């Protein structure tokens, strides 16, 4: 059995539908936590369609599995030292 990649689906009123600035964090609607992206997407779609007439409501999918492995996030932000040459201190490149 493969390890579940947890996803959280939640939504609420936003200041601007193009962003994710939730205006009332005390009244967020938590749809649930799902074991994979496909089921989270299905839940997100259902919740979003239920509020289709309310333009100030937005639902999002949060990838919890990425947050639970911060060493992977840190590694993704660092330059890949195998693909790029990183200059060393004290040595200048010859022209």
To the question of pTM greater than 0.85 for the whole model, the response is: no
CA distances from 73 to 17, 36, 69 (A): 27, 19, 7
Average pLDDT over residues 15-36: 95
Which two three-digit tokens encode residue 13? 């009123």
| Residues 6-17: tens digit of each pLDDT | 999 999 999 998
Q: Domain spanning 7-77: which superfamily?
A: Uncharacterised protein PF13773, DUF4170 (3.30.70.2400)
Which position has the higher pLDDT, 88 or 22? Answer: 22
Contact of 17 with 8, CB cutoff 8 Å: no
| Domain ranges within the chain, ordered by starting residue | 7-77
Q: Which distant-in-sequence residues (6+ apart) come within 8 Å of 73 by Cβ?
A: 66, 67
Strand-pairing partners, residue 30, are 10
| Residues 55-95: tens digit of each pLDDT | 999 999 999 988 888 766 555 555 544 444 445 555 555 55
């Amino acid at each position: 059995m493969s390890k579940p990649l947890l996803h959280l689906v939640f939504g609420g009123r936003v200041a601007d539908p193009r962003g994710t600035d939730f205006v009332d964090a005390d009244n967020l609607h938590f749809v649930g936590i799902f074991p994979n992206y496909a089921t989270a997407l299905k839940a997100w779609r259902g919740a979003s369609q239920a509020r289709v007439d309310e333009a100030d409501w937005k639902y999002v999918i949060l990838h919890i599995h990425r947050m639970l492995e911060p060493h992977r996030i840190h590694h993704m932000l660092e330059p890949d030292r195998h693909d790029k040459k990183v200059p060393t201190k004290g040595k200048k490149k010859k022209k």
